[in-house]
Structure 1
Amino acid sequence: MSYDAGDGPRTGLLEGGEVRGLPAPTTLLSLLGDDGEWLADAARTARDDPAEVRPAGAVRLLAPIPRPPSVRDGLCFLEHLRGCWRALGRPTDLPEVWSQTPAFYFGNPAAVVGPHDDVPIAPGSALFDFELEIGAVVGRGGRDLHPDEAAAHIVGLTFFNDWTARDHQVRDMAQGIGMGKAKDSAITLGPALVTVDELPPAPDGRFDLDVSAAVNGTEVARGSLTGTDWSFGELLAYVSRGTDLVPGDVVGSGTVPGGCLLEAVDTPDIADFTGWLRPGDVVSLRSPVLGETTQTVRPAPPVHRLHSGH
């Protein structure tokens, strides 16, 4: 995990309510690669001979990798897509293209925030949403990976929440060149990187993890990675076609079915839905294995209008 106790970012082990820190300037990213041996050695050092020990409540938890080399978000749960289309009044029979390859988009590494950081609404958005997802962190790089072997390149998992401005998404989709400002304001990672040796065996990357989401203390979604249409192995194999995955890259699972407010829309016009996030709302993602993120939504910063548009 990564944290700040007031003297800059540090890396350590979160265990038993304590943070067992490694010497600065060690970063989690610098410990990846080498088939996990560096990370395992660092964990032993943090447990047996830490540079400092602090109560977890006395530090600010950062995203495990505050600035990943790259961020990609897949769409491995096709039932999530059906749920969104159902809420929008669209037919839920998916075109064949969705079963040919997993879909993904590139996220913004500069948008990554920590597990308890406040999240401002995206500038200009009135339809702000969260997404309940799991992020796989690449520990060992590779290219043109085979789907039966790609999951072995995952060093661990963490929560992944790509906060979404649904009104901006409508514009992005109309422009037709992929996600733009809809997904550009915040991506939550955390609270820690849970390494694969602490997870149930999952050769294909369908880890048996229960996850849930709550808004203002009320649970609104629950699911598991076992229900994906595309496994992490298949997703990593696809995104590595013709390009390199490198240690520290983060790849999201896509939204657990029901794990966003869009799927709860019950009006013909999504702008009429009254359930969108508002300043002061508290969003929590929870898992017995991955831990918990808890974040407060804040007002959007002002929008500087463009000279010839919006």
Structure 2
Amino acid sequence: MKLATYLADGEERLGVVDTDHDQVVDARSAHRRAEGSDLPALASMQALIEAGPAALETLAGLVVGADDPDRLPLSTTRLAAPLPRPRQIRDFLLFEKHVRNCLAQESRLTGNDRPVPPAWYEFPTYYRGNPSTVVGHDTDIVRPAYTDMLDFELELGCIIGRTGKDISADDALDHVFGFTIFNDVSARDIQMRMAPVGMGPCKGKDFDTSNVLGPWIVTRDEIGDPYDLQMTARVNGEEWGSGSSGDMQFNWSEVIAFVSQSETLHPGEVLGSGTVGTGCGLEQGRFLEDGDVIELEIERVGTLRNKVTR
């Protein structure tokens, strides 16, 4: 299924997206109509994820024909981030082409020539993002006043669906709820200035509207092979870059096994793949202008669209 969080009557609601009919099914309303009662697992995306496979099966049984009265036109429905308040965000750096391209551009801009660190090939590295800055599809990205090099980053987002610690690579995918598109918005000039300190990107990636998820979550059973997804980035309709999820240096099983060492993962956490090769402006020496419209598309997931404002 494709699962969304949408806004109606001033509240966030859980919906099932039917892209064939351009509609969204109100999950809670459909259950109330069918069973005459509310199901707590359908109160929000987080509640659904925590409720486990049985709740998903119940929800699937509620999705009926295109004339169902609980359906809304997708084209006029305002979507929020599918997981508006993730329990945690960890953003990895898994595409070698992206790493090499960015280091080459940073060298050109700063004069500091840096090779790919040998440790990058040894284990999947990441930083923690700020869940409080998450926004969704068709929400404006507000440029921080302190940057002249605002950039997008096309990533595949993995949603954790089961609690686990010291998870084996063989069992790791059983802990995945689904996948979404992740735009890790970056202030590149500030990021490059702060990088030599060694404390992470800091204000280069930490500002309101800097983490964009959407347009919905595709459940793991529907996504198929997560390493065979075409990924494309467009700005104002012009393609800026594309690649494949199959180019990840470490697969999701390895990533989950690594990050869960001596640490518990919880339902509703987000893992970002890092930017696919050519999936950002920095790699081409191009940056976003006010009014630009970014469209990030991942095969079998959808298209995440946002506009840059000041």
Interval containing the TM-score (normalised by the shorter chain): 0.7 to 0.9
**Match 1:171 to one of 186, 193, 196:** 193
Q: Within 2, Cα distance between the matches of 1:288 and 1:149? A: 25
**Are residue 281 (structure 1) and residue 292 (structure 2) matched?**
yes
Question: Per-residue displacement from partner, 1:169-219 (whole Å, max 9, x unpaired)?
Answer: 023213221121111121110101001111224xxxx53111101001001
Structure 1 gaps of 5+ residues are 266-274, 300-310
TM-score by length of 1: 0.87
Structure 2 gaps of 5+ residues are 30-41
TM-score by length of 2: 0.87
**Match 1:156 to one of 160, 178, 192:** 178
Question: Per-residue displacement from partner, 1:117-148 (whole Å, max 9, x unpaired)?
Answer: 01111231111000000100001121111122
Alignment of 1:1-310 (within 5 A): 1-15=4-18, 16-23=21-28, 26-33=43-50, 35-47=52-64, 52-89=70-107, 93-185=115-207, 186-201=210-225, 206-265=226-285, 275-299=286-310
Q: Within 1, Cα distance between the matches of 2:172 and 2:91? A: 16
> SS at 1:168's partner residue?
helix
Q: Within 2, Cα distance between the matches of 1:93 and 1:148? A: 33
Q: Within 2, Cα distance between the matches of 1:53 and 1:281? A: 32
Moved more, 286-295 or 187-196: 286-295
C-alpha spacing 1:36/1:159, structure 2 compared with 1 (3 Å) = same
Q: Within 2, Cα distance between the matches of 1:289 and 1:295? A: 19
Task: Report the RMSD for the aligned CA atoms in angstroms.
Answer: 1.9
Moved more, 105-114 or 18-27: 18-27
Q: Within 2, Cα distance between the matches of 1:46 and 1:5? A: 19
Of Structure 1 and Structure 2, the greater helix share is in 2
Whether contact under 8 Å (2:103, 2:115) holds in the other structure is no
C-alpha spacing 1:93/1:148, structure 2 compared with 1 (3 Å) = farther
> SS at 1:259's partner residue?
coil
> SS at 2:261's partner residue?
coil
C-alpha spacing 1:196/1:220, structure 2 compared with 1 (3 Å) = same
C-alpha spacing 1:92/1:177, structure 2 compared with 1 (3 Å) = closer
> SS at 1:23's partner residue?
helix
Moved more, 235-244 or 249-258: 235-244
Give percent identity, aligned residues only: 36
Q: Aligned residues, how many?
A: 286
Q: Within 1, Cα distance between the matches of 2:83 and 2:69? A: 20
Q: Within 2, Cα distance between the matches of 1:138 and 1:85? A: 31
Per-residue deviation, 1:45: 2.0
> SS at 1:161's partner residue?
strand
Q: Within 1, Cα distance between the matches of 2:165 and 2:147? A: 38
Per-residue deviation, 1:69: 0.4
Per-residue deviation, 1:35: 4.5
Whether contact under 8 Å (2:106, 2:192) holds in the other structure is no
C-alpha spacing 1:174/1:91, structure 2 compared with 1 (3 Å) = closer
Match of 2:146, as an amino acid?
G
C-alpha spacing 1:69/1:47, structure 2 compared with 1 (3 Å) = farther
Whether contact under 8 Å (1:21, 1:51) holds in the other structure is no
> SS at 2:162's partner residue?
coil
Whether contact under 8 Å (2:95, 2:248) holds in the other structure is yes
> SS at 1:134's partner residue?
strand
